[in-house]
């Protein structure tokens, strides 16, 4: 049994902190923690899940890498600089967590519960984190970790060939007749801090498995895992769209031209002149967004003067003829004093990937290239030139209206 004290009231609840180990020397995928999934880096997703928890008071990221430390601060976490001695391939996550606990002692009382959270699980549900922490606070467990039910028949090679691990090959019971087994997901471990310090490992005392949804249980170790996670993120975002439209709370909207404002086709006359097709409803969307006070920009590699003409018609600035769109976007954001995390970018093809990686809301039109969809935080229901711009404008306007209502 756990030797934990009874749970305390909300007024004097013990301190709970989350520690996210995120070293720079990941092996399977270089700088994995900074790779985007669904438009947000793995680190950003982990920090956000912790910050959305109702029971976690503070979030700390332990890292030896300046870029990861910067991303942690951007996500709203505090940073613990991780010494090189515990940043190598053989260093345990526990060593990073124990070091972080010692470093943060000056921020307040020692945490009663420490939650080890791993960036490699991009789909954590904050409610699952709260459930695990709650079980430790209530004295039900010394360690509560994320797990999913496992119903597979496991095998291994023995001296005489394959043998069953969790079953007798001569007897195959039905799933409902077998004992429940669990597979550790690696996403999070809520631990009583004094026990972690005493034992030096995450598993000690009374253990409980905190069941999580199988769809949220993915762990990223390889490039293939990362690709699958990006595809899964698109599916989950689509489910969120079905459940309720997302509010794109941003300060600026940047859009590609060909394939976003147009259907990516052109009419070429015998004189060599080009014309493109645009949507009138997109024009109305831009007008409404402009009236709502949204800062907007069209950014394009296209040199055709039709881009500037369309921008003038819509009364929004245009930067076109740019071979390096990401650099042009970076310079524009700096000139306008904008936080990239509060900017949306709408693209459709591979020359938009650099810009999509730079902003907090990377968005793809419905007929975008697969690589664009994989990076996008949101895929629109409409295609370029067929109302995609109107659709994103309405989502941004809804967020502006809600923000203003909250401030009223």
**pTM of the complete model:** 0.65
> Is pLDDT at 111 greater than 90 in this prediction?
yes
Nearest of 243, 56, 240, 44 to residue 131 by alpha carbon: 56
Tell me: pLDDT of 242 over 70: no
Most confident of 65-79, 186-200, 220-234: 186-200
pLDDT band at 2 (very low <50, low <70, confident <90, very high): very low
How many Å is the maximal CA-CA distance in the chain? 86
Give me the chain's average pLDDT, please.
88
User: How many Å is the Cα radius of gyration of the chain?
Assistant: 25
Coil vs helix vs strand at 363: strand
Whether 7 has a pLDDT exceeding 90, the answer reads: no
The one-character DSSP state at 262 is B
DSSP state of 87: -
Q: Round to whole Å and give the CA distance between 236 and 215.
A: 9
362: Cα separation from own chain's centroid: 12
Q: Mean pLDDT across the stretch 314-341? A: 94
Is residue 108 over pLDDT 80? Answer: no
Q: Token digits for 257?
A: 């031209």
Rounded-to-integer distance, Cα 313 and Cα 316, Å? 8
- Give CATH superfamily name and number for 10-220: Spore Coat Polysaccharide Biosynthesis Protein SpsA; Chain A (3.90.550.10)
Residue 129 vs residue 238, higher pLDDT: 129
Closest CA to 121 of 33, 191, 203: 33
> Which class in CATH covers the domain with range 245-407?
alpha beta
In the chain, residues under CATH classification 3.40.50.1000 are 245-407
Closest CA to 355 of 336, 384, 385, 376: 376
> Per DSSP, what are the bridge partners of residue 243?
none
Q: What is the pLDDT of residues 352-371, one digit of tens each?
A: 999 998 998 999 998 898 88
Query: Mean pLDDT over residues 91-111, rounded?
Result: 88
Give mean pLDDT, residues 301-309: 87
Q: State the average pLDDT over residues 267-292.
A: 84
What residues pair up with 274 in beta bridges, in sequence order?
268
pLDDT of 202: 95
Binned at pLDDT 50, 70 and 90, residue 235 comes out as: confident
Task: List Cβ neighbours of 405 (8 Å cut-off, separation of 6 or more).
Answer: none
13-26 tens-digit pLDDT? 799 999 999 998 87
Give start-end residues of each CATH 3.90.550.10 domain in the chain: 10-220
Percent of the chain with pLDDT over 90: 60
Residue 179 CA: distances (Å) to CA of 155, 174, 212, 404: 17, 10, 18, 54
């Amino acid at each position: 049994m756990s030797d934990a004290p009874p749970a305390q009231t909300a007024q004097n609840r013990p301190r709970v902190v989350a520690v996210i180990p995120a070293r720079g020397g990941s092996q399977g995928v270089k700088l994995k923690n900074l790779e985007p999934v669904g438009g947000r880096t793995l680190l950003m997703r982990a920090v956000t899940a912790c910050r959305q928890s109702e029971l976690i008071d503070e979030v700390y990221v332990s890292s030896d890498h300046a870029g990861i430390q910067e991303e942690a601060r951007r996500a709203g976490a505090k940073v613990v600089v991780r010494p090189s001695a515990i940043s190598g391939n053989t260093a345990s996550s526990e060593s990073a967590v124990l070091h972080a606990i010692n470093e943060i002692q000056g921020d307040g009382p020692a945490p009663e519960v420490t939650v080890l959270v791993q960036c490699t699980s991009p789909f954590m549900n904050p409610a699952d984190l709260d459930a695990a922490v709650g079980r430790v606070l209530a004295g039900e467990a010394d360690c509560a970790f994320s797990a999913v039910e496992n119903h597979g028949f496991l095998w291994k090679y023995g001296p005489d060939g394959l043998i069953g691990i969790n079953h007798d090959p001569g007897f195959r019971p039905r799933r409902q007749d077998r004992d429940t087994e669990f597979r550790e997901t690696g996403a999070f471990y809520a631990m009583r801090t004094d026990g972690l310090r005493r034992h030096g490992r995450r598993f000690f005392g009374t253990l409980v498995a905190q069941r999580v949804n199988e769809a949220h249980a993915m762990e990223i170790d390889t490039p293939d895992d990362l690709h699958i996670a990006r595809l899964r993120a698109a599916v989950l975002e689509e489910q969120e769209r079905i459940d309720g439209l997302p509010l794109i709370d941003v300060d600026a909207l940047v859009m590609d031209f060909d394939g976003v404002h147009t259907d990516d086709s052109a009419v070429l006359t015998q004189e060599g002149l080009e014309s493109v097709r645009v949507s009138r409803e997109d024009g109305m969307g831009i007008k409404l967004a402009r009236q709502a006070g949204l800062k907007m920009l069209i950014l394009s590699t296209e040199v055709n003067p039709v881009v500037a003409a369309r921008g003038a018609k819509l009364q929004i600035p245009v930067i076109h003829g740019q071979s390096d769109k990401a650099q042009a976007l970076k310079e524009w954001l700096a000139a306008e004093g904008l936080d990239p995390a509060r900017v949306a970018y709408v693209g459709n093809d591979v020359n938009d990937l650099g810009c999509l990686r730079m902003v907090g809301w990377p968005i793809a039109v419905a007929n975008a290239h697969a690589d664009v969809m994989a990076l996008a935080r949101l895929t629109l229901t409409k295609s370029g030139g067929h109302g995609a711009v109107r659709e994103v404008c309405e989502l941004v306007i809804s967020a502006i209206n809600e923000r203003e209502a909250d401030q009223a």
